[in-house]
Structure formats: structure tokens, C-alpha cells
Amino acid sequence: MKKLISIGLACSTLTSAAFAQNFEVEPIVGFPDFGFMVPPGTGDGEYTGPVFVLRDDYPKTMPPLDSGVQEILKMDFAGDSINYATAVRDYIFEGNIRGGSVEADFDLFKNSVGRDWYHAPWQHWGPNGREGYHGLTREGPLSPYVLDKTQKDKSSAYAVGFYNGPGGLTFGKVWPSADQGPDLSTLIAGEGFPEGTIVGKFLFTVLDETQVSYLSNPLQWNAYMYDCDVPSSAGYGGDCTADKRSTQKVNLLQMDIMIKDNRAVDAAGWVFGTFSYNGNLPADHQYSAACEQYSGDAKKWCNLVPVGVMWGNDPDNDIGHLNLTPSVDNPTVINKTLKQTVINPSPDLPAQHLGWASRLDGPADNPGSSCMSCHSTGQYPAVSPIMLTFNPAEMPHDGATASPEWMRYFRNFKDGEAFDEGRAVSTDFSMQLLKSIQNYVEWRSQSQQGGYAVEYWTDNNVGPVTRGAHLE
């Protein structure tokens, strides 16, 4: 964590509360926490609320699996998918929701049941890097109508993710020190995340219930976000790289989970799940048990309704289906021919577009992809794009048979196998691990005239082909 902007701000005007917060928590200078924070003297007085601190004291040895993880690894993700997903959601909630203001939740330094959770380093960098309230990065676009038929404005999701102890172990191996570049040897050896790794991620949007019906009664965080993404702002739709940001209330939209479970043999040992917010449910709905202990806004975390679970990409299922405009009149289509995706049939789930041919995907995700399709491209260097095309017109629509090129994005993988095996090393489905390496190399390359730009990996194991430097 430490260095950065907050130090610059602190010289004269940042309040001692915010200043002390960053330095009390972790005295050692580590990876930078964030790239963007509200400047002093804006708004009504100085900001004195929580400031994002990156948790990066990754474990050096494999932490023992706590009882929560052990219980999850015994559950049947294929046969009891919705209960499995809910159990993982509640595991991620435990100790991270503290029952007061939701602005203070998910401060990983304060987990009240003593569980260690970590952030990915190097997500602060670049124009979409972390902001300083909650470490939110700017994510992919939310195109009109992708969330609901009344969503007329485009925007972008803002998101933050967390890894539990076993996941932190891998980050510590790849990033042994904040003062040096990544060590890829563990990935080159085909070693990814250990069994018992659990990852959670929340996605927020500034769009509200006037455009997205299920975002009523919202759970809100502050976000220091680009005006180009805020429909009510004068800068809306403008040039985001112009760097105009402001503090906005954003609404919880989606939660993603990843679980490394060796029983998921077709998907390199990963199970993926996702949740959609639904603010229209009664207080005591079927997914609310984990939040009964809280009062006030904290109860709303449980309005995250399971969408489904996937543990493979159904590589043989090549008949197209696309739903680009989900709504009550155009409800979720459950594809019963899929063998490795289960979708929640409950009417408590708002209408979903899902992924290609109804594979698992979240509200904010591209309907021509799937969780595992996109994450399977997690490799360094990223020689293949995350999707074959972003143009819906070029995607296999209803009943069309997909091409082999398209189905390349719906393959299954062995543990450690890269999307372009031989030309890249797998980051084991972790996009944040990939981004950390990419961002570092890009930063270094920019400051050293291309010295660290990596083009592709050779298949003779001598290392990456670079313009002048090896990563070792």
C-alpha cells in the first residue's frame, strides 16, 4: 500500500482522521492503494470518511482451511447449486459486514471473525484504476437495456474484489515485494491458486431504479467516479480520459464468486457463481437469513439473489442464443441442454440476459460471453482478446450453429493450461492477477521506453519474447 496521493494531499489540507487511517493500519510502505481520490477543498468541507487501504500482507505459507471453507468444499455445487452459491456468499459476508454503516463494510483489516482477506495489487494504475473510497476500478460498459428494458443510458460498472488466505498465498508468490516486479515462476510451473481459494467481487452502478427496476431500496457506497459515466452530470458521455471525476452514490448491482474446488475437473478446478441485487423483495425473503443479525442498511447485502453457478463451459453445446434486452416481458431463458451451468429458477431473480446460449453471466457482463469464457483468457501475455467480437451482430444468434473460432472461447481447461498454451502462461482464471502483471509491465515499459514490453511467450520455455528485458 502506502506512498501515493494521500501523502501529497496530506501536506496541508487532508484531515488528520483520513491521514492517520492509512498510516495506522500498515506502517510499511507497500503497493499503492488507489489512483484517484477527491481533491482537498471540494464539496462541503473535507472528506473524513473511510479511505481505501489495500490489504497486501500476503501469507508466506499455505494458511489452514478454516471450517467455513471446509464446509463449502463438501457441498454439491452441481446438485445443490443455489444453496452452494448462497453459502459462499455468506462466507464472504462473515466478519466483513459489521452491522453499522455499509460504508465501513468490507474493510479487510477489520474482519470481525478473524479471517484474512486480501486485495490484488497494481489495480490502482491507469485511467480505470482504483478510486480512494472503496478501491473501485472502472469496469466494462453497461450498454443501454442490458440491465432492464427501461435502462436508456449507458454507463460503466465500478467494482472491487477480495481473495481469502489461500488466494493471497498465490498473490504473495507472484508479488513477493512491492519494490520489485512480478515473479512468474509459480505460474510458469503451472501452479495456480490452491484448493480452498475463495474470491468475491461487488459491482456497483450509478444507474438507479428510475432505469433499472430491481435497484429500488438500494445499498449505496460512495464512489469517486468519472463524470462521463454519470447521466446527471454535465460531463456525461464525454471524454473519460479527460479525468473529470466526482463523488457519487453508487448502487450495489451484482456480486461474483469464484471457488477453487478440485472436484470441478473440467474447469481447471474452478466453480463460478453470481448474484443480482433485487430491492423489491420483502424483508424476510428466502436469501435473507445471513443478514437477520443486522439492522438498517446492512440487511440489504442479502438482497443479492443467486443467478446461478457454472463449473465448465459446455464445450459441445454450440447452438446460439442471445438475450440482449432482459425485462419482465422478456424473462430469463434457462437452457436445459447445458450440463455445466445451473440457473436459479426462482421468481425472486430479476430477469437476466445471462451469457451466450444462457451460460452463466451476471447483469453487468457481456451477453455474448460467460464467466468462464472470459476468465479462461486469463494468461500472460494476453495474446487472445477476452472475446472474439464485441459486436452483437457478429455473435451466433438464436438457433445458429457457432463456428469453431467462436467455440474456442467455450472450451474447458486443465489446471495450469493456458488459453494459448505454449504462447502464454495461465493466470489460472484470475483476471486481477493478469491485470496486476499487465499494469506493472505497462507502467515500466512506459517509463523505460519499451524495455519491458512483452510480446508473446515462446514455446521452448526460454521465457517471454520481449523488447529488451526478461521478467525474471
| Chain residues that interact with ligand HEC, rule: CB under 6 A | 120, 137, 139, 159, 161, 199, 201, 256, 258, 272-274, 360-362, 365-366, 369, 371, 374-375, 386-387, 430-433, 435
- Between 151 and 369, CB nearer to ligand HEC: 369
Quick check: bond before 381 cis, omega within 30?
Answer: yes
- Between 18 and 433, CB nearer to ligand HEC: 433
In the complex, what is the shortest distance from the CB of residue 345 to ligand HEC, in angstroms, rounded to a whole number? 17
Which candidate, 279, 262, 281, places its Cα nearest to that of 270? 262
- Between 201 and 300, CB nearer to ligand HEC: 201
In the complex, what is the shortest distance from the CB of residue 327 to ligand HEC, in angstroms, rounded to a whole number? 19
Longest Cα pair distance anywhere in the chain, in angstroms?
A: 63
- Between 18 and 169, CB nearer to ligand HEC: 169
In the complex, what is the shortest distance from the CB of residue 123 to ligand HEC, in angstroms, rounded to a whole number? 6
In the complex, what is the shortest distance from the CB of residue 29 to ligand HEC, in angstroms, rounded to a whole number? 24
In the complex, what is the shortest distance from the CB of residue 442 to ligand HEC, in angstroms, rounded to a whole number? 15
Rounded distance, CA 438 to CA 356, Å? 27
- Between 272 and 294, CB nearer to ligand HEC: 272
- How many other CB atoms sit within 10 Å of the CB of residue 184? 19
Rounded distance, CA 304 to CA 277, Å? 4
DSSP H helical segments within 341-409, as ranges?
371-375, 404-407
- Between 91 and 294, CB nearer to ligand HEC: 91
Q: Write down the residue that cell numbers 446527471 correspond to.
A: 232
Helix (H) or strand (E) holding 415: none
In the complex, what is the shortest distance from the CB of residue 159 to ligand HEC, in angstroms, rounded to a whole number? 5
- Between 18 and 267, CB nearer to ligand HEC: 267
In the complex, what is the shortest distance from the CB of residue 298 to ligand HEC, in angstroms, rounded to a whole number? 22
Q: Radius of gyration (Cα) for the chain, nearest Å? A: 21
Rounded distance, CA 353 to CA 332, Å? 6
- Between 199 and 230, CB nearer to ligand HEC: 199
- Between 366 and 426, CB nearer to ligand HEC: 366
Q: Write down the residue that cell numbers 483520513 correspond to.
A: 18
In the complex, what is the shortest distance from the CB of residue 208 to ligand HEC, in angstroms, rounded to a whole number? 22
In the complex, what is the shortest distance from the CB of residue 210 to ligand HEC, in angstroms, rounded to a whole number? 25
In the complex, what is the shortest distance from the CB of residue 351 to ligand HEC, in angstroms, rounded to a whole number? 16
Q: What are phi and psi of 163, to 5 degrees?
A: -115, 140
Strands (E), 316-413: 341-343, 379-380
C-alpha cell at 260: 477453487
- Between 69 and 431, CB nearer to ligand HEC: 431
- Between 138 and 245, CB nearer to ligand HEC: 138
In the complex, what is the shortest distance from the CB of residue 352 to ligand HEC, in angstroms, rounded to a whole number? 10
